Amino acid sequence: MEELVESILDYIRADYTDYAIMINGEWGSGKTYFWNHKIRNKIESMTLNGKKYTTIYMSLYGISNLEEISKKIFIETTQLMDKNLKKFMTANGQSNIPEYAKTGLDMANFFGVTQNGDKIDYADFFSTDDKVLCFDDLERANVDVIDILGYINNFVEHDHIKTIIICNEKELSTKLKSSNLEMKTFIATYLLDKEGNLMQKTDKPMVERIRDTIEYVFDKANDYERIKEKLIGETFEYAPEFNYIISGLLMRYEKYPDLIRFLRENTNLIISTFNKSGTRNLRILKHALNDFKKIFDMVNKAYPNTNHRVMQTMLIFTIAVSFEIKAGKITKDKFININSNEEYKAILVSSRVFMDNRQFYIKEFDNNYYYNFKAEYRFFKFIEIYVRTRIFDMKAFKNDMEVIINTIDTDKLPGYKRLLTEEYWKIADDQFDKVIEEVINDVKNGKIKPIEIVKLFAYFSYFINRKLINYDMKTIKSIFLNGLNLACLDAKYCDNVEEELDTISVDDVGSEMTEIVTYFEGINEKLKEKMYKEKAEDIFKNIPMKMEVFYDKFAKECTKFPIFKYYEGFQMFQRISCASNEDIVTIKEMLADRAKKYTKQLKSEVENMEKLKQLIDNYIEGKENTIRIVMLQEFSTELGNILHIYNPEKEYNTSANV
């Protein structure tokens, strides 16, 4: 991003320019934010040839004629020359004049009301070498884009004013092609009829012939490219730093201490949900966060002890539903007939168990936004209504919250879950010591999942640093390390460690946390090895008796996955040697095909593949040729080819005649 800023500033610093520059990016991606927070201030702080630069920003959104652009420029320049106005703005920390105020000032000038009685300084008025024009929302103007660019070209080519154009060229292209489409279609149809081509039989569909004629006769896109080539010297693709911008969006909630603390603790959750939306529209995210403020305030006012995990899920759901509805991905009625969390979960069950395609969208929504985020309560009717209709339905709100309270009773939760799912300061002082002792006993006895033990250690480290518990760090660390050893005996591999650790809502965790995380990662790798060995056993046990099951599972789970790394070569040999000749050929072809396509992902299979090849070679050595022996010879040959793909530097016996 800094490289982009510097490139734009280099354009401003250049002594002589007869071209404009363009910043191109998608709607809502933060282009205007980028101008206001990264570019404008830096330009206005520059001094070149003894002059300070002045920026003049204009949104072309809704502009219906070129005169309106001239009026906007005039208002901006004359106001900036007014001394009293500039003094007022400086004293009040104003960097921009509100549009409402501009209208009043413009009318005051029209009726002869002056701001300070001074005459216009024509030297300032005619000065162009210290001005920078910025035209935003080019694609949203109601004037022909070609005319606007021609108008801007006057400033650039004749006056050499530094000019920046901000737009979304993708939408601009669509607009150029779709403007006056009915009229264009009528004329294209008329021309085809006059040429005798309308009813002529041809392989090309009628719709395509009309479209080609429209493009030939009304090729605005080419006109745009021609004037752009003349006017625009450089086009910069704006690829926003979303993390930076999202952090900036959160700053607007600084005056709400509880809300900003919650949002900052869950910044990674916000960014993750934003990324899962598949859009780059920060404007929708901004609206979603505003909606969540209302939701957060209402929940904390009416139900102050709401579970922390529930609040996190509300945040995800608010952002997710906002994107699904406002980005135009779905029609608003997708959620209308779902009235509760229970109905939502029932739909998920029906879509997964009965393969109900009518509910496919809900399944995809859940898989996308709640992937690796476990929450019992994932649908909030009052939030869905609020986002969809802009009405905060108090009845739906109370219904949802009463169900949540009755199903998620924190007093009945195990102590460790209370620490992990609600803010620790909400635990009453007279309950805190009991919760701590309960957690320590569960850790000692290995009753908690390894990843949760790691997260709990962060809290205990924080408590020790804050002198909230009477334990020293050495003792606690020993208890937690031993607890990890016990817990791993019955635990499963955790595949989303980073996301799990991001849910920790305390910062001052001490240096010992790194040691605990490293120790856990070693345990988790062993659990991963164990999991994959079990998966390999589950898949390969189907050879030779249940080959259809084997083929199905192998195709779904092992195409890119090095399953042979986790299955012992001798067992594999026994199973393959018992398979039918047809199955031996099929397995050989499957292995060869996947090795060519996914070499990098499968290279770790080499060691067990080598063992399998050697066992087959030993088995067929000296045996009289039969169809089975020949099939096994060819299988060994193909294994040699596969091994050579994995390891080109090593020679393998690939002869079929062993």
Same domain for 604 and 522, yes or no, is no
Is 658 part of any domain?
no
Q: Which residue has the higher pLDDT, 354 or 511?
A: 511
User: Is residue 330 within 8 Å of 285, Cβ to Cβ?
Assistant: no
Q: Is the pLDDT of residue 552 over 70?
A: yes
Q: If DSSP states are collapsed to H, E and C, what string results for 551-586?
A: HHHHHHHCCCCCHHHHCCHHHHHHHHHHCCHHHHHH
Same domain for 489 and 566, yes or no, is no
Rounded to whole angstroms, the Cα distance separating 293 from 260 reads 10
Specify which residues 136 forms β-bridges with.
59
Give whole-number Cα distances, 585 to 338, 543, 618, 628, 637, in Å. 51, 13, 19, 10, 12
Rounded to whole angstroms, the Cα distance separating 155 from 164 reads 11
User: Is residue 314 within 8 Å of 299, Cβ to Cβ?
Assistant: yes
- Indicate the residue type of 513: M
Is 85 part of any domain?
yes
Is 224 part of any domain?
no
Structural domains in the chain (count):
4
Q: Give the chain's count of helices (H) and strands (E).
A: 33, 7
Helix segments in 197-266, DSSP class H: 206-217, 220-231, 242-250, 257-265
Strands in 153-230 per DSSP E? 162-167
Same domain for 147 and 163, yes or no, is yes
Domain boundary (124, 159, 175) is at: 175
Q: Is the pLDDT of residue 351 over 60?
A: no
User: Is residue 18 within 8 Å of 156, Cβ to Cβ?
Assistant: yes
Specify which residues 236 forms β-bridges with.
23
Rounded to whole angstroms, the Cα distance separating 455 from 457 reads 5
Least confident range of 46-55, 186-195, 295-304? 186-195
Least confident range of 180-189, 248-257, 447-456, 597-606? 180-189
Same domain for 557 and 616, yes or no, is yes
Give whole-number Cα distances, 160 to 123, 231, 242, in Å. 17, 11, 34
Least confident range of 41-55, 236-250, 308-322, 438-452? 236-250
pLDDT value for 583: 93
Same domain for 366 and 302, yes or no, is yes
Instruction: Work out the average pLDDT over 631-651.
Output: 88
pLDDT value for 111: 47
Pairs from 103-106 (Cβ < 8 Å, separation ≥ 24)? 105/75, 105/79, 106/71, 106/75
Is 15 part of any domain?
yes
Same domain for 475 and 594, yes or no, is no
Same domain for 386 and 430, yes or no, is no
Instruction: Work out the average pLDDT over 383-400.
Output: 94
Same domain for 482 and 579, yes or no, is no
pLDDT digits (tens, 9 = 90+) for 51-92: 888 888 888 888 888 887 887 777 666 555 555 655 665 666
Q: Which residue has the higher pLDDT, 243 or 177?
A: 243
Q: Where residue 122 sits, what CATH number does that domain have?
A: 3.40.50
Is 537 part of any domain?
no
Q: Is the pLDDT of residue 472 over 60?
A: yes
Q: Which residue has the higher pLDDT, 114 or 589?
A: 589
Same domain for 399 and 281, yes or no, is yes
Same domain for 488 and 548, yes or no, is no
Least confident range of 10-14, 96-100, 213-217, 474-478? 96-100
User: Is residue 136 within 8 Å of 69, Cβ to Cβ?
Assistant: no
User: Is residue 560 within 8 Å of 603, Cβ to Cβ?
Assistant: no
pLDDT value for 47: 82
Is 571 part of any domain?
yes
Same domain for 40 and 161, yes or no, is yes
Quick one: tokens of 627?
């169809």
Q: SS3 of 85, please?
A: helix
| Backbone angle region of 73, left / alpha / beta, with phi > 0 → left and psi within -120 to 50 → alpha | alpha
User: Is residue 533 within 8 Å of 566, Cβ to Cβ?
Assistant: yes
Angle between helices 257-265 and 282-302 (to 10 degrees): 120
Is 202 part of any domain?
no
Q: Is the pLDDT of residue 649 over 70?
A: yes
Is 220 part of any domain?
no
Quote the domain boundaries for residue 358: 242-408
pLDDT digits (tens, 9 = 90+) for 271-325: 999 989 887 788 899 999 999 999 999 999 999 888 888 999 999 999 999 999 8
Same domain for 151 and 297, yes or no, is no
